[in-house]
């Protein structure tokens, strides 16, 4: 069978890594050491070479699935002509971890439990680990109750309650499940040279502990606004995309899933973009996760270090690594055979001014927890403010990381304005009177330049760059950060033009000709309408977008308006951040006074 469409996967997470499980019960992606570590299953990127582990009925079946309430533990119900079975999958969390410690020290266990619900259902299991993105196959060896596979410094230990047949590098099983019967499977990961031999897990107990650990985390967060269940779920997705040892949130769990059928535009998203940093903090704060927000800010400050006037890295690894040099993996054909498969991301070498304002604005958001402000944070924010003051006139790669050229991107200029504006608001905490006057003067100079050179009379809108005639959905962010009122006539004209020329069925393309809608841009459009007082339109857009998640409430980066399919790396933190922010914007705009029956807060 072929690997599934990207939007047919579910996410499992343990605070260190993420696994993707298809609707037909196949684990097709898992990099157990950490999000950006080497894979042991990568069928997502190559049907034959990548490796997989599936458990499913032997015959035809229908599928229904859901996450167990407020967890990332997945329950898939297969219904066949012979009966029905449920397969429950989870990445184990530490049995002792509770609350904010959830995911800090995961045991490295992939858990699978098969439960007979009715009738008598023949089942099949296929286990084919492949190490280092399919480069290495390991011999499977029995060690007591465990089937071991060792290669490239990694040990996997698979246990099963059914009889398993080993065939050198693969293993399989056939078994029948009666109503009320349970069969269990586990797969342990450990670095070969640092851990003891893996032992068989009590799968049912470990799953129960994992559910309890998730509940202990969600129980600490009480979001008060509209669309509560959607916001809590998206916050949990962000938690699932968090490398808990550092607090870093990766952009997505995957690499090299293209946004077009022919491939080419596919990158490794298993890193941390500092441009997303402020939005992530705001989303976590909105979702009532203040401890996670504060920890993420602390990690960011440590990862950046002392910068002076050197360019700040636009992205880092989950433990703060700087060098993310890109390389191809030619042994894998790529998602739907549309390569290339890339590890690393050369965007780390780009200069993007938009990150400057995001960091200072994040500090402003957390100013109460930064009072008194630590000296290292003060130095960092001063350096960033100075960098914005001195570099705002320079072109850059911009928020969309265009690799072919640099230009005077509008949102990059506005982000420099944002850095200076928030620094001025901090007042004497950051600078003396002369510095504050100079920062305020440069801030006002940037604003004047953006309003003059960013507006295009011929287009009748703010465009993506100075003196450009190309629409760009990134300018929808201008009212969201307070640069310009959403009901300003020119901003209203810009929104109207973007809706008319870049939007199809509520999905907003970033620029003319882009084939798919960019999910967070669609949420930005909803927020612009809410801020402008067009609340019914804002709600309609929001509810139309959230109806396009997959059956598990997960978003990729983009959605094809023609097919409705999601495309790009998955699940995408940026998209879920957009959902949380838009839900809160609708809440603060008091949408319920216009539509009292909309947006359940359960």
Global pTM value = 0.94
How large is the C-alpha radius of gyration of the chain?
Answer: 25
Kindly report which listed range (238-247, 407-416, 453-462) carries the lowest average pLDDT score.
238-247
Residue 436, Cβ neighbours under 10 Å: how many? 18
Measured CA to CA, the distance from residue 477 to residue 495 in angstroms comes to: 11
* % the chain with pLDDT above 90: 75
Evaluate if residue 530 carries a pLDDT over 90: yes
Residues 6+ apart with CB under 8 A from 76: 21, 23, 25, 63, 64, 65, 86, 87, 88, 89
Evaluate if residue 1 carries a pLDDT over 60: no
The tens digit of pLDDT for each residue in 323-341 reads 999 999 999 999 988 889 9
CB 110 within 8 A of CB 186: yes
CB 235 within 8 A of CB 291: no
Residue 432, Cβ neighbours under 10 Å: how many? 9
Average pLDDT over residues 532-549: 97
Question: What was the pLDDT predicted at 281?
Answer: 78
Question: For the stretch 528-557, what's the b/e string if a residue is b when 16 or more beta carbons lie within 10 angstroms of its beta carbon?
Answer: bbbbbebbebbbbbbbebbebbbebbbbbb
272 closest CA partner among 235, 297, 309: 297
CB 357 within 8 A of CB 419: yes
CB 27 within 8 A of CB 34: no
The CATH code of domain 6-218 reads 2.70.98.10
Residues 6+ apart with CB under 8 A from 337: none
Work out whether the CA dihedral 284, 221, 298, 255 comes out positive or negative. Answer: negative
The tens digit of pLDDT for each residue in 376-391 reads 889 999 999 999 999 9
CB 284 within 8 A of CB 293: yes
Question: What was the pLDDT predicted at 596?
Answer: 44
Q: Tokens for 413?
A: 């200029």
Extract the runs of DSSP E, i.e. beta strands, from 103-162: 109-128, 140-143, 146-151, 154-160
Q: Tokens for 491?
A: 């901003």
Q: How are beta strands 52-57 and 26-30 bridged, if at all?
A: antiparallel
Average pLDDT over residues 549-562: 96
Question: What is the three-state SS of 340-367?
Answer: CCEECCHHHHCCCCHHHHHHHHHHHHCC
What stretch(es) of the chain map to CATH 2.70.98.10? 6-218
Question: What was the pLDDT predicted at 591?
Answer: 46
CB 176 within 8 A of CB 97: no
Evaluate if residue 95 carries a pLDDT over 80: no
43 closest CA partner among 28, 30, 32: 28
């Amino acid at each position: 069978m072929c690997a599934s469409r990207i939007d047919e996967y579910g996410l499992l997470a343990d605070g260190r890594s993420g696994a993707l499980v298809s609707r037909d019960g196949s684990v097709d992606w898992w990099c157990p050491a950490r999000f950006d570590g080497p894979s042991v299953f990568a069928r997502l990127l190559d049907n034959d070479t990548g490796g997989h582990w599936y458990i499913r009925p032997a015959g035809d079946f229908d599928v229904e699935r859901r996450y167990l309430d407020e967890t990332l533990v997945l329950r898939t119900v297969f219904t066949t002509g012979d009966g029905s079975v449920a397969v429950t999958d989870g990445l184990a969390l530490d049995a002792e971890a509770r609350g904010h410690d959830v995911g800090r020290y995961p045991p490295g266990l992939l858990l699978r439990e098969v439960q007979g619900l009715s009738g008598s259902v023949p089942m099949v299991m296929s286990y084919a680990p492949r190490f280092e993105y399919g480069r290495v196959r390991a011999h499977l060896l029995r060690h007591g109750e465990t089937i071991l596979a060792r290669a490239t410094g990694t040990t996997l230990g698979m246990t099963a309650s059914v009889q398993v047949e080993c065939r050198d590098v693969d293993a399989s099983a056939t078994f029948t499940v009666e109503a009320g019967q349970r069969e269990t499977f586990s797969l342990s990961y450990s670095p070969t040279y640092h851990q003891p031999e893996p032992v068989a897990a009590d799968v049912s107990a470990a799953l129960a502990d994992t559910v309890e650990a998730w509940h202990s985390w969600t129980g600490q967060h009480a979001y008060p606004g509209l669309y509560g269940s959607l916001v809590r779920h998206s916050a949990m997705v962000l938690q699932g995309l968090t490398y808990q040892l550092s607090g870093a949130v990766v952009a997505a769990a995957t690499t090299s899933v293209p946004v077009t059928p022919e491939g080419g535009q596919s990158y490794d998203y298993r890193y941390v973009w500092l441009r997303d940093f402020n939005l992530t903090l705001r989303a976590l704060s909105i979702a009532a996760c203040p401890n996670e927000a504060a920890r993420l800010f602390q990690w960011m400050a440590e990862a950046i270090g002392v910068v002076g006037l050197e360019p700040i890295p636009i992205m880092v690894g989950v433990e703060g690594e700087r060098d993310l040099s890109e390389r191809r993996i030619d042994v894998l054909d790529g998602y739907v055979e549309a390569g290339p498969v890339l590890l690393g991301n050369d965007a780390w070498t780009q200069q993007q001014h938009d990150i400057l304002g995001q960091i200072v604005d994040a500090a402003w958001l957390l100013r109460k927890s930064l009072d008194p402000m630590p000296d290292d944070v003060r130095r960092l924010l001063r350096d960033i403010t100075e960098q914005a003051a001195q570099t705002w006139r320079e072109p850059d790669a911009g928020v969309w990381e265009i690799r072919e050229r640099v230009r005077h991107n509008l949102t990059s200029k506005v982000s420099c304005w944002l850095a200076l504006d928030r620094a001025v608001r901090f007042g004497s905490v950051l600078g003396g009177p002369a510095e504050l006057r100079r920062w305020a003067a440069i801030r006002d100079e940037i604003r004047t330049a953006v309003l003059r050179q960013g507006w295009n009379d011929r287009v009748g809108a703010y465009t993506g760059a100075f003196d450009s005639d190309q629409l760009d959905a990134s300018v929808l962010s201008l009212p969201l950060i307070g640069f310009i009122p959403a009901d300003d006539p020119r901003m209203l004209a810009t929104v109207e033009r973007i809706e008319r020329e870049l939007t199809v069925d509520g999905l907003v393309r970033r620029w003319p000709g882009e084939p798919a809608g960019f999910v967070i841009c669609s949420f930005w459009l909803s927020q612009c309408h809410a801020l402008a007082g067009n609340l019914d339109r804002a709600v309609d857009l929001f509810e139309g977008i959230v109806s396009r998640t997959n059956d598990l409430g997960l978003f990729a980066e983009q959605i094809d308006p023609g097919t409705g399919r999601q495309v790009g790396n998955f699940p995408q933190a940026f998209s879920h951040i957009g959902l949380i922010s838009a839900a809160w914007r609708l809440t603060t705009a008091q949408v319920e006074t216009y539509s009292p029956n909309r947006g359940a807060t359960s």
